[in-house]
Amino acid sequence: MAKNMNRKRKANAMAKMHQKIARERIDILFSEAERRYHENPDLSKRYIHIARKVGMKCNVSIPRRLKMRFCKKCGAYLVPGSSSRVRIDSQKKNVVITCLRCGFSRRYPYK
Ligand SMILES: [Zn+2]
């Protein structure tokens, strides 16, 4: 029984460590996506795809500040004025981000 508990705790610690690594990888992939966007937007899209896969595999959600940087529908990396349009809906207190690649728009409440 005690041995079992120990193993469980160890597995938990391992999962935590993997999640930490996954978060770091996601961060790196997003900054690469940003860095390469101007020369190769498709490569950025690919980085986003990998980052999302890493998140899913390791049960790590993409942080909000990064979630606003890609289109949930087509996966494009969103750069305001280039691949996305940002609009403020002051009535509903939303930021509306529209993907100019596929036209999909998302609302984010702002504080
Ligand atoms: Zn899109």
Q: Domain holding 105: CATH number? A: 1.20.5.420
Burial class (CB in 10 A: 0-12, 13-18, 19+), 88: exposed
pLDDT tens sequence across 57-94: 999 999 999 999 999 999 999 999 999 999 999 999 99
**51 burial class (0-12, 13-18, 19+ CB within 10 angstroms)?**
buried
Which residues have CB under 8 Å from 63's CB, separation 6+?
A: 26
Ligand 1 centre from 70 Cα, in Å?
8
Task: Report the domain count for the chain.
Answer: 1
Range of the structural domain that residue 67 is part of? 2-109
CA distance 22 to 82: 29
pTM: 0.86
Q: How far is the centre of ligand 1, averaged over its atoms, from the C-alpha of 34 (Å)? A: 16
